[in-house]
Amino acid sequence: MKWIKCRAAGLLLVFLFGSMASACSMGDVGELLQERMESESVDTEESKQGAEPQKAETKQLEEQQAAREQISVGKYAYEHLGEEGKTIYDEMLTAILNHEEKIKLSTTDLDLMRRAYTAVCGDYGGLFWVEGYVFTRYTKGDELVSLEFAPKYTMTKEERRIMQVQIDDIVAVWLAGISINDTDYDKAKYVYELLALNTEYVKDATDSQNIISVFVKRQTVCQGYACAVQYLLEQLGIQSVIVSGTALGDAHAWNLVKLDGEYYYMDATWGNNGYQNGQGPEKTFIDYNYMAMTTEEMQMGHVPDSNIELPECTAVMDNYFIREGIYIEEWDPERMGAILSWAWEQGRVVTLRFSDEILKKQAFRYFIDDGYIADYCDGITQINYIEDNLWKEISFCFN
C-alpha cells in the first residue's frame, strides 16, 4: 500500500443531472412542433360554390393521395400511427419534401393532424428547412369541412439545396470512421462520441432546433442533438426516433434507438461532461451513462410526453459498461486494477459501474482510501475521482 493524495473532482457540467441538462427551455423543444391556426372559419357556402368546385376539390384530394410518397415504412413513429394517421403523415411529409406551399389534408381531425406532424418530426431529424406549420379550417356553418396544411419554411428551395450539399459534405467526413457493416453497438457509440466531441452545448445557439446548428455551426441545444442523432444513425441503417418530454422539470429532447433488435434510450445532450481539479482548468470527458439506457434508467431523469407510443426498454446487452467490460458484479481487484492501469497509461477517464453499493464501497476503500491503486498505476501520486451514488459508479480521472 502507498499513501496517495486523493481529491474528489468537482463537477462543472452534468455528472448526474446538472445545469446543461436542464437548459433546454419549453420554447426550444416546442419550436419545431409549433402550429398556428390562420383562420378559424372560412365559410364555403354551397350557393356560391355550387357542385363543380366541390367536385374539383374532391378530385384534387384524390390526385394528392395518389401522389403522396410512402417512404416511411419501418420508421418508428410512422408505424405507431393508425392507417388514417399514416395517410396524413405521408401527405405532410410529401408536401414538405416537395417544398409545397400548402395542401388540403384528407382529414378534418385536428388531433390526428397534430399527432401525424409530431410523428413526422420524430422520424425525420433532417428537416432543417421547415419550422412548424400553419393550418386553416374551412367550415360550412358549424361543420368543419376541410383542413389546409401549410409548412412554415425558413428558406427557399434553392437555399435548402445549397445547405443540404454543405451538410452532406460534413456528414460524409464525420462518418468516414465508421462503416455500415459495423455492429449496431459500434455505430451508436461512434455517433454518441462524435456529438460529444464535436458539438458544444450553447443555450442561445442559432438554428438550435435543427441539424444546421450541429453540423455547420457546432453549437446546439437538446433538440439539435436529438435531430442529429436521428439523422446520423439513419445514414448507418439504425432506426431512431426523437423523443420529447422533460428532464428535471424542463423541456428536453432525446432519442429512442434500436440496436441489435432491442430498444434503448440515448441522450446525446448529456454525453459531454466535465470536472475540475481544485482550482485547475476544466477537463471534459464523455459520460456514457446516457448512451443506451433502459426505461428504468431513462426515468431517473427524464419524463417522456405521450405524443408517441414508447416501448418498455429492458435490454442491457448493448449497455456501454457491459459491452466494454467495466460493469463489476463481483470482487476482483486484479481485473479492476488492470482496467485502471490501462486508463492510467492512456491518460483518460475510466468509470467503473458496480452492481451494488457494497461492491462500490469495497472498491473505493481498497483503491482510494487504502491507496492500492499505486500497485496498478506506476508513478501515481494523486487520484482525482468522481463518486456517483445514483449510478453506483466511481470515475477515475487520469486525463
Are the beta carbons of 210 and 127 closer than 8 angstroms? yes
DSSP helix/strand/coil, 85: helix
Task: Determine the average pLDDT of the residues in 246-256.
Answer: 95
| Residues in Cβ contact with 368 at an 8 Å cutoff, skipping those fewer than 6 apart | 6, 383, 385, 394
Task: Determine the average pLDDT of the residues in 302-309.
Answer: 94
Give me the pLDDT at residue 31, please: 44
pLDDT in tens, 167-211: 999 999 999 999 999 999 999 999 999 999 999 999 999 888 999
Residue count of the chain: 399
Give me the pLDDT at residue 190, please: 98
C-alpha cell of residue 209: 432546433
14-18, 252-256, 329-333: lowest mean pLDDT where? Answer: 14-18
Helices 157-174 + 222-235 axis angle, to 10? 70
Please state whether beta strands 240-247 and 302-304 pair in parallel, antiparallel, or not at all (unpaired): antiparallel
User: The pTM is what?
Assistant: 0.86
Residue 44 clears pLDDT 60, i.e. is over it: no
C-alpha cell of residue 141: 356553418
